Structure 1
Amino acid sequence: MTDDTLPPDARPEQLTRIGQPPRTMSEAMRKALWIAPWLIFLGAPVQDLAAGHHTPGATVAGWAGLAAFVGTYVTLVFRNMGRPFRGPVVAWLVGALGALAVVLCLTLGGDWIGLFVYVSVTCGAALPIRVAYWAIPLNAAAMLLVGLRSGVHDWSLLLVVVLLGYAMTGVKQLVRTTVELRKARATVAQLAANEERLRLARDLHDLLGHSLSLITLKSELAGRMLPDHPDKAAQQVADIEQVSRQALVDVRAAVSGYRRTRLPDELAGAQVALKAAGVVAEVPAEPDLRDVPEESESALAWALREAVTNVVRHSGATRCTVELLRRQTLDGAVLELSVEDNGSGGSGKSPGNGLTGLTERLEKTGGTLEAGRVRKGFRLVARVPVGARSTVGSGA
């Protein structure tokens, strides 16, 4: 089963993309809310300004300095989630943030010592890893000196500053890894598509190259024989017809092979389709297809495709479970595909064309199809024989 599942009420457009800029205002708000809990350390400075311990001029300057500090911090951390500033800009902004923390703490008192927490977090989130490794302890040392000058001896806060800074470097590396994995996945998909195109081109060349060359040669030969030897030219034309018919048979066979539905491919496609529709999916990753004839596998693959299509389009389900099991029945071993969801299952008045076609397709392989409502949704069960292909008799 896959571990990559979503909450029942989640939708892909509602998920915040890690390491990428926000696409909508709501996504920008969700990313901003991730930053908001860190503002808890501003409680002491705000309380200090609100208590009226300072002169009016100092209070105004304190509010202005605090606003500038918070604005710089939020800009750096929020922008770093998607479109980070260039290196020199980040260095200047982090330096300005540290300078504001020192000035505000020295001029307004020890209640402002918590600002160094934000400086440390910004160092870990915005600076390059190698720079952050020495910038974080340097910020901690500055906090220690300023604290001693202001009469603050909070060693636990010093530990928080160091740990949070290095924790943010880990978060930054995790985000970077996620972005690189996303790019690598896209590259692998592109390479696989290119490889498939090359394989198709190679197979068509091998399949048709000889036949078309032979047709061209015999056509030229028939053209030269036609005036003087019409009987021999007719023989060449007959050979051309035979070669072309055989080439057509080969092409049809090759196309049928390309078009043959494979169960592993459909399972992967079902996982993607269900996740894209916001349906929590439980899908087996590696099916056991030993002793399963190709036509039986293809029939199960078509059944899975039809079932997933119904779940995505008509059911309104939020959860879908796909199971693939081997069972022993009175008629022999069978491979059973079960697709169950918690949706409405459509109108349910009569079987649609899709289910009718699936029943006919499965009967040709000696299999069966069952579909109907269950207590909490809709369930489709398709079975095909395993091992030697069963003779389609009374059950078909």
Structure 2
Amino acid sequence: MQEWRRGRAARKADWAVRKAEWRAAQKRRRKSGEDPDHGCGPMAPSNAFALLPWLLLGMGAISNVIKGETPNPWIGALGLLLFNSLYITLVFRAFDRRAREAASTRWCLAALGAVTCALALAYGGNWLLFFPLWGLATGAVIRGRLLGPVMFVVTALAGAIAGLDEGWDTLGIAYGTLVSGMVTAAILALSETVKELRETRQELARAAVDQERLRFSRDLHDLLGHTLSVIVVKSEAARRIAPRDMDAALGQIADIESVGRQALTEIREAVTGYRETSLAAELDRARGALTAAGIEPVVRQSGHPLPPQAAALLGWVVREAVTNAIRHSGATTCEIEVRSTAERVRLVINDNGNGVGSSTPGSGLTGLTERLAAAGGTLVGGPAPGPGRGFRVTAELPVENPETAENEESR
């Protein structure tokens, strides 16, 4: 009883979800001008009801009972009631996976088989048509590797018992039993596969939305963190030098305006997903931001030219590390070194500050670590070895050889 109640609660919850999804789909159809969907929503009959009309195969047996052509009609009527009850129970339980796989369902199917065999042996004739119904219920309940052996036993029993009464017509009963079971199982398995594919598609869509939100949050954090730090630093510089050198202060204010305009452009690009960071541009911005903050920049770059993807990722690392150095380190110098070979590129950013916050990396470095890991690289941030060495960020990425990539594409 408790299992039946849990199954009923699960069906009610599933009904509510499907009803809400169907109503949302109907709203989208009306907004887009499409015709409403009247036949495949939750208002349509449940799949279990599609198997109930097959009970009309038993109308011949019911007619025999009503006309008194069946010996012991009360026993026959009781058998009909029991068969129909078991069949209806099975087809409804077949569409709930937990109920279908329960041991009670298997016992119910065995009881249906026993009633079918008893009625066929006792009356024959029209009563043999209950074998295809038993096969249909078997195909609805049994799935997987068990289906073949079970259907073989059901078909063999149908053929053997029908052979006692029908002779060559036994082939029709056996064939109908086998086909009804196998076709029902195939259709229901296909229906479940389609349902799982739809659920998978929805899950992939939700995952894509979550991934896009994560991308946007990372870009927004990196963009605003760096830009606001530069604006604050230049504003402080303009305030300090304004009393003694107004022209220099106006220059700093002009830089603030330029940074603000550039930030607006980058935020629009980040929203649309077309933001590409250039390593050379970020190195130039790093020099200007560090100089404005009173930190001496030392930039060294050597090696092979980098592909756009690797340069873009390293540009984000430069932006985040320089922003942290300006805001937290209290450094006087910041060294940025880029060394690249044909296979790999290494970026090291080291300041001589106090390394505040190095023990627990922030969301910026965490997000960049995930980005580089997705591209096959690594990112490590922490106190530099040795006393007074400050904070060090090291990023490494594999570099794809453009000539090799072109050769592979031509192949």
- Any idea what SS the aligned residue of 2:212 has? helix
Distance 1:51 1:10, change over 3 A: farther
Question: Deviation at 1:67?
Answer: 1.8
Per the alignment, residue 95 of structure 2 pairs with 81
Question: Deviation at 1:178?
Answer: 0.7
Rounded to whole Å, the distance in 1 between the matches of 2:176 and 2:268 is 70
Question: Deviation at 1:152?
Answer: 5.3
Unaligned runs of 5+ in 1: 1-8, 18-22, 259-396
Given that 2:58 and 2:126 are in contact with CA atoms closer than 8 Å, whether structure 1 keeps it comes out as no
Indicate the percent of aligned positions where both proteins have the same amino acid. 33
User: Are 2:113 and 1:98 aligned?
Assistant: yes
Distance 1:117 1:256, change over 3 A: closer
Given that 2:94 and 2:100 are in contact with CA atoms closer than 8 Å, whether structure 1 keeps it comes out as no
Rounded to whole Å, the distance in 2 between the matches of 1:99 and 1:158 is 17
Per the alignment, residue 146 of structure 2 pairs with 131
Per the alignment, residue 199 of structure 1 pairs with 215
Rounded to whole Å, the distance in 2 between the matches of 1:148 and 1:188 is 54
- Any idea what SS the aligned residue of 1:85 has? helix
Distance 1:16 1:247, change over 3 A: closer
Per the alignment, residue 145 of structure 1 pairs with 160
Letter in 2 for 1:81: F
Distance 1:98 1:152, change over 3 A: farther
Question: Deviation at 1:162?
Answer: 1.1
Rounded to whole Å, the distance in 2 between the matches of 1:54 and 1:146 is 18
Letter in 1 for 2:86: T
Given that 1:49 and 1:63 are in contact with CA atoms closer than 8 Å, whether structure 2 keeps it comes out as yes
- Any idea what SS the aligned residue of 1:11 has? coil
1:93-137 CA-partner distances (Å, limit 9, x unpaired): 111110110122223334311111111111111112211111111
Per the alignment, residue 62 of structure 1 pairs with 76
Distance 1:84 1:41, change over 3 A: farther
1:197-244 CA-partner distances (Å, limit 9, x unpaired): 233334435544542231132234345546776664454334323322
Letter in 2 for 1:15: G
> Mapping of 1:315-326 within 5 angstroms?
none
Per the alignment, residue 166 of structure 1 pairs with 182
Given that 2:86 and 2:108 are in contact with CA atoms closer than 8 Å, whether structure 1 keeps it comes out as yes
- Any idea what SS the aligned residue of 1:41 has? helix
Rounded to whole Å, the distance in 2 between the matches of 1:16 and 1:245 is 52
Q: Among 247, 257, 262, which residue is 1:241 paired with?
A: 257
Rounded to whole Å, the distance in 2 between the matches of 1:156 and 1:10 is 45
1:322-362 CA-partner distances (Å, limit 9, x unpaired): xxxxxxxxxxxxxxxxxxxxxxxxxxxxxxxxxxxxxxxxx
Per the alignment, residue 38 of structure 1 pairs with 54
Distance 1:228 1:92, change over 3 A: farther
Given that 1:42 and 1:114 are in contact with CA atoms closer than 8 Å, whether structure 2 keeps it comes out as yes
> Mapping of 1:335-346 within 5 angstroms?
none
Given that 2:70 and 2:76 are in contact with CA atoms closer than 8 Å, whether structure 1 keeps it comes out as no
Per the alignment, residue 40 of structure 2 pairs with 16
> Mapping of 1:382-393 within 5 angstroms?
none
Letter in 2 for 1:53: E
Letter in 2 for 1:102: C
Rounded to whole Å, the distance in 1 between the matches of 2:92 and 2:62 is 22
Distance 1:69 1:52, change over 3 A: same
Given that 1:116 and 1:161 are in contact with CA atoms closer than 8 Å, whether structure 2 keeps it comes out as yes
Given that 2:120 and 2:128 are in contact with CA atoms closer than 8 Å, whether structure 1 keeps it comes out as yes
Rounded to whole Å, the distance in 1 between the matches of 2:197 and 2:136 is 25
Question: Deviation at 1:91?
Answer: 0.7
Rounded to whole Å, the distance in 1 between the matches of 2:35 and 2:74 is 45
Distance 1:67 1:16, change over 3 A: farther
- Any idea what SS the aligned residue of 1:114 has? helix
Letter in 1 for 2:192: R
Rounded to whole Å, the distance in 2 between the matches of 1:225 and 1:133 is 89
Question: Deviation at 1:253?
Answer: 6.0
Rounded to whole Å, the distance in 2 between the matches of 1:83 and 1:207 is 49
CA RMSD of aligned residues (A): 3.3
1:126-164 CA-partner distances (Å, limit 9, x unpaired): 112211111111011112232244565521221111122
Rounded to whole Å, the distance in 1 between the matches of 2:163 and 2:258 is 98
Unaligned runs of 5+ in 2: 1-33, 275-411
Given that 2:91 and 2:140 are in contact with CA atoms closer than 8 Å, whether structure 1 keeps it comes out as yes
Given that 1:105 and 1:150 are in contact with CA atoms closer than 8 Å, whether structure 2 keeps it comes out as no
TM-score by length of 1: 0.53
- Any idea what SS the aligned residue of 2:99 has? coil
Given that 1:129 and 1:169 are in contact with CA atoms closer than 8 Å, whether structure 2 keeps it comes out as no
Per the alignment, residue 364 of structure 1 pairs with none
Per the alignment, residue 85 of structure 2 pairs with 71
1:16-55 CA-partner distances (Å, limit 9, x unpaired): 35xxxxx44xx23x74652244223213311221231345
Question: Deviation at 1:185?
Answer: 1.2
User: Are 2:211 and 1:186 aligned?
Assistant: no
Given that 1:105 and 1:113 are in contact with CA atoms closer than 8 Å, whether structure 2 keeps it comes out as yes
Bigger-Rg structure (1/2): 2
Tell me the matched-pair count: 241
1:69-106 CA-partner distances (Å, limit 9, x unpaired): 11221232234235661421221111111011012222
Question: Deviation at 1:10?
Answer: 6.9
Letter in 1 for 2:94: N
Rounded to whole Å, the distance in 1 between the matches of 2:238 and 2:246 is 8
Given that 2:125 and 2:165 are in contact with CA atoms closer than 8 Å, whether structure 1 keeps it comes out as yes
Rounded to whole Å, the distance in 2 between the matches of 1:123 and 1:86 is 11
